[in-house]
Amino acid sequence: MSIAFKEWAIICGALGSGDQSIILRKGGIHEGRDGFSFQHAAFFLFPTLFHEQIARTSLPASTPIPAAPPGEIGISHFARLEWTATITSLETALSLQPFHLWNEEVVRERFHYDVSPGLHLAFLRLFRCEPGWAFADEPKYGGCRSWVTIPDAPEGMNLIPVLPDEEHHRRSAALKAALGEAG
């Protein structure tokens, strides 16, 4: 079995197209006593659907949400965790707007979601899965959890980098500079 990270389908699309290289996460209801962490260094992106997600991004309302056929989960991208950071300042969290598609309200909600304010940031290297694959959606994939176990990927799958190495390294440096960690 393989590990997948649940994220909004529109964000999975942005990650998979190279428009975004980060995930900002507070955690889900079922993260357990220790809360959320980026506990896997490599994982597939598991797109989730709900109708309000476009309105909670900076994208135009007419933007289509990528989706598998009803009753299926489509997997088309793989991520490798490059580095993480914990953001404890709302000002810092809001200053990262150029690096993602979530709107300010979502960033504020995620930042203040729990008793202790803050966000977990993951900088990812994204790969397109060729071929992608789909499997039946089941109740075990539901709920407010970040990590799910999915069927193994098809034999012979190739992982194609979404961004060239130079652009990937440039984004990493720019993000670290924005976080105040450069130099």
Confidence of residue 102 (pLDDT cuts 50, 70, 90): very high
Average pLDDT over residues 142-162: 92
Average pLDDT over residues 90-95: 94
Provide the residue type at 17 as one letter.
S
Q: Which residues does 110 contact at the CB level (< 8 Å), separation at least 6? A: 24, 25, 26, 102, 119
Q: Is the pLDDT of residue 36 over 80?
A: no
Q: How far apart (Å, rounded) are the C-alpha atoms in residues 149 and 112?
A: 28
pLDDT at 117: 85
Please count the CA atoms within 13 angstroms of the CA of 1 that sit on its side-chain side. 6
Model pLDDT for residues 66-81, shown as the tens digit of each residue: 888 889 999 999 999 9
Domain map (residue ranges) of the chain: 2-178
Confidence of residue 29 (pLDDT cuts 50, 70, 90): very low
- Give, as one character, the DSSP assignment of residue 155: T
Let me know the angle formed at the C-alpha of 9 by 170 and 27, rounded to the nearest 5 degrees: 80
φ, ψ for residue 111, nearest 5 deg: -60, -45
Would you say 127 and 160 are in contact if contact means Cβ atoms under 8 Å apart? yes
